[in-house]
Amino acid sequence: MKNVKLLLVLATVTLTAVSCGSKKEAPKEEAPKMLVLYYSQTGNTKAVAEEIATKLGADIEEITMVNPYDTGFQATIDRCLQDRERGIIPDIQPVKANIADYDIIFLGFPVWFGTYAPPVQKFLLGADLSGKKIVPFCTFGSGGLESSVKDLEQAEPNAEVMPGYGVRAARMAAMPKEVDQFLKANGYLEGEFVQLEEFPAQHDVSEEEAAIFDAAVDGYPMLHAKAKTVATRTLPDGMEYLFTAEDLPRENSPKMPPAGELQVYVTVVNGQAPVFTKVIR
């Protein structure tokens, strides 16, 4: 009888050992591999790219041209106009990164003529981003993120174009804080972020609100408009206004037709003058 009990105990111990030994931990999900790829003409887009790459610990590479643009603003615009008229997209140097190795591509560019700069267009023509997540980021004079996203979706129908980040060249000082909030709000970076409330319905502008709009756009030559309606929401350090405005003929370009209705975002940080953050035409 003792032998039978001993055999039962040994069998139980053996089964327990086998059971414990065969238990496997669930495989850890690998973090997506990220690449920050950008073209920069003045250094503004480069600054945003470096901020993103540093915060994420991501790989980074600059798109460079075979025949770079002139560093002067007007010379660059003139060459772009000539290239557009001739159907020329300037050549770029081969990208060194193996795009196939990455899950998420942060794609950065300055906005020219309402969309991403030609060197980025050239990259997209030769790249296969199928199955990738593309996170656009851009710098601009007044706006262009939304129109650039539409062009990206058409250029890369088999990729997933994610919400992007854009900043005016005149507001680069605010960029590091905004990038931090953008990365956290969209799940690329852990940490607390401010979840802004949705804008309520718009109402006719008051005299005070019209004055805020006029002060925000004053001095910007490419924006000549009159505010019609507005909605407001609270920011941690002030107020944000979403104006619907009517584009007016430009005093210095009377032959240029108005663009119709515009959406103009304006922030008023406590103790500071109003500033517009972007225009959606």
Q: How confident is the model at residue 249, as a pLDDT?
A: 78
Average pLDDT of the chain?
Answer: 90
pLDDT at 4 over 90: no
pLDDT at 13 over 70: no
Q: How confident is the model at residue 18, as a pLDDT?
A: 41
Burial class (CB in 10 A: 0-12, 13-18, 19+), 159: buried
Q: How confident is the model at residue 48, as a pLDDT?
A: 98
Long-range contacts of 75-84 (CB under 8 A, 24+ apart): 76/41, 77/112, 80/112, 80/113, 80/118, 83/118, 84/113
Give, as one character, the DSSP assignment of residue 141.
Answer: S
HSE-up of 49 (CA within 13 Å, CB side)?
24
pLDDT at 5 over 50: no
**Which DSSP helix (H) or strand (E) runs through 241?**
strand 238-247
Whether 246 and 226 have beta carbons less than 8 Å apart is answered as: yes
According to DSSP, the residues that pair with 166 across neighbouring strands are 138
Q: How confident is the model at residue 73, as a pLDDT?
A: 86
Whether 251 and 219 have beta carbons less than 8 Å apart is answered as: no
Concatenated DSSP letters of 159-185: SEEPP-EEEEGGGGGGHHHHHHHHHHH
Measured in whole angstroms, how far is the alpha carbon of residue 210 from the centre of its chain? Answer: 29
- Cα separation, 199 vs 183, in Å, equals 22
Residue with tokens 């794609």: 107
Q: How confident is the model at residue 255, as a pLDDT?
A: 59
Q: Which of 3-12, 37-46, 211-220, 243-252 has the lowest mean pLDDT?
A: 3-12
**Is 34-185 a CATH 3.30.559.10 domain?**
no
- Over residues 206-231, the mean pLDDT reads 95
HSE-up of 142 (CA within 13 Å, CB side)?
17
Give, as one character, the DSSP assignment of residue 101.
Answer: G
CA quadruple 133, 37, 130, 143: dihedral, nearest 10: 70
Give, as one character, the DSSP assignment of residue 100.
Answer: G
- Over residues 241-248, the mean pLDDT reads 95
Query: Where are the domains positioned within the chain?
Result: 34-185, 203-280
0.85 surpassed by pTM: yes
Please report which confidence band the pLDDT of residue 17 belongs to, taking 50, 70 and 90 as the band edges: very low
pLDDT at 82 over 90: yes
CA distances for 249 relative to 156, 255, 267, angstroms = 36, 8, 25
- Cα separation, 49 vs 122, in Å, equals 19
Higher-confidence residue: 4 or 199? 199
Q: Which of 13-22, 158-167, 215-224 has the lowest mean pLDDT?
A: 13-22
